[in-house]
Amino acid sequence: MRRFWLLFSQSVTVLLAAYFVVATLKPEWIGRGAQVAGRSVSFVEAPTVPTTPTGPPPPGSLRQAAQRASAAVVSINTMKAPDRNAHANDPWFRFFFGEQGGEPVAGLGSGVIITPDGYILTNNHVVEGADEIEVVLNDSRKTRGKVIGTDPDTDLAILKITLDRLPVITLGNSDGLQVGDQVLAIGNPFGVGQTVTAGIVSALGRNQLGINTFENFIQTDAAINPGNSGGALVDTNGHLMGINTAIYSRSGGSMGIGFAIPANTARQVLEGIAKEGVVKRGWIGVEPADLSPELMATFGVRAKSGVLITGVLQNGPAAQAGIKPGDVITQVGEKGIANVSELLTYVAALKPGQPAKFHVQRRDDGMDLTVTPGLRPRARPAQRR
């Protein structure tokens, strides 16, 4: 009898152990629910969400914007020959100092395909001085890139590649951006591969940063790091709003303050380079200065805002229109002027030879003058050693 009792208890123990294992690992084998402390608990399963690109994204997802824009964002690898010492061919120099030839300098950046025939927008500093340019598409295709034109004043450059079936980004209207709008930054930071980061528009019209001659930056907290330069800043529709250009950083990494060149500025540069090979900007021939108590006292200025003209080029466009030293320009066209950077930017946007209205404050009198801007002289390139 004892033997049968032991066999029975062992069998029950094995069956209970098997039951608990199945209930834990495969509850569907014994029903949709499980017993917890004598109560029936039903598991609620999440609905299946399609994982294909055409499936609806979850609420708040920026997936569609990233998918629309990412295909047109490329990586740009550059190679620059090392600087050669002027005495490298001197045998005595080589005897004492050895061979001084260095390794080629590699560079990394990003770009955006903007036309089906292969025009790419990027930063001038990404390709400046490069001897070789390799463009890598998001689908892993590689090709050589050719510089069509550059605009150092805005730090933009246009490249050209020759490939078929090129994805193209849609250019948006950057003037419609507002602080707080969601944006995505797409590029190849640190060479790790294409990366998408999200943030908002933190500020608009940032200038006086000392980065470019003409500054009208979009500021964003979307993470931008080395290698993102030339990449895309897009809105929630995947439309291009800016070209990522620079970051404010004490460590070299993102600190939540990045700057992008507005897409509307990039469009003007593209059109100028594509049509005429250069960007033509307006120029009026004045020496401007921000208002300060000292200058206001010196020139007897009573205006509370605007830009003081301290000098006027003889026979220049401004002089011919009647602008004089001591005048304060408060408005160009319909745009108010607050500082020298804004005056420089708005005048540069004028078409040479096309008259424009300037509002000027001369002591107590305000007046409208018609100025016909000339062609802004191109800056003489700095000598490189």
| SS3 assignment, position 270 | helix
Q: What gap in Å lies between CA 186 and CA 223, rounded to an integer?
A: 9
Structural Rg of the chain based on CA atoms = 32
* DSSP class of 22: H
DSSP H helices, the chain, are: 2-25, 63-70, 91-97, 124-127, 263-276, 293-299, 317-321, 340-348
Q: How far apart are CA 191 and CA 227, in angstroms?
A: 7
Q: Which of 381, 377, 343 has the alpha carbon at shortest distance from 152?
A: 381
For the question of residue 125 being annotated catalytic, the response is yes
Angle subtended at Cα 380 by Cα 375 and Cα 382, rounded to the nearest 5 degrees: 155
Strand partners, 54: none
Q: CB-based contacts of 292: which residues, under 8 Å, 6+ apart?
A: none
**Token pair listed for 280:** 């033509």
Interatomic CA distance for residues 31 and 46, integer angstroms: 18
**DSSP assignment letter at 272:** H
Among candidate residues 151, 153, 155, 235, the one labeled active-site is 155
Q: Which of 75, 229, 254, 341 is catalytic?
A: 229
From CA 273, how far away is CA 109, in angstroms rounded? Answer: 21
C-alpha closest to that of 241 among 156, 174, 178, 185: 174
Q: Coil, helix or strand for 93?
A: helix
Q: Which residues pair with 288 in a beta bridge?
A: 309
One of 75, 110, 125, 239 is an active-site residue; which one? 125
Active-site residue, 229 included: yes
**Phi–psi pair at 298, nearest 5 degrees:** -65, -45
The DSSP bridge partners found for residue 187 are 195
Is there a catalytic annotation at residue 254? Answer: no
Inter-residue contact 258 to 247 (CB < 8 Å): yes
Q: CB within 8 A of 342, min separation 6: which ones?
A: 207, 307, 335
Pair of tokens at residue 287: 């020496």
Residues with a catalytic annotation lie at: 125, 155, 229
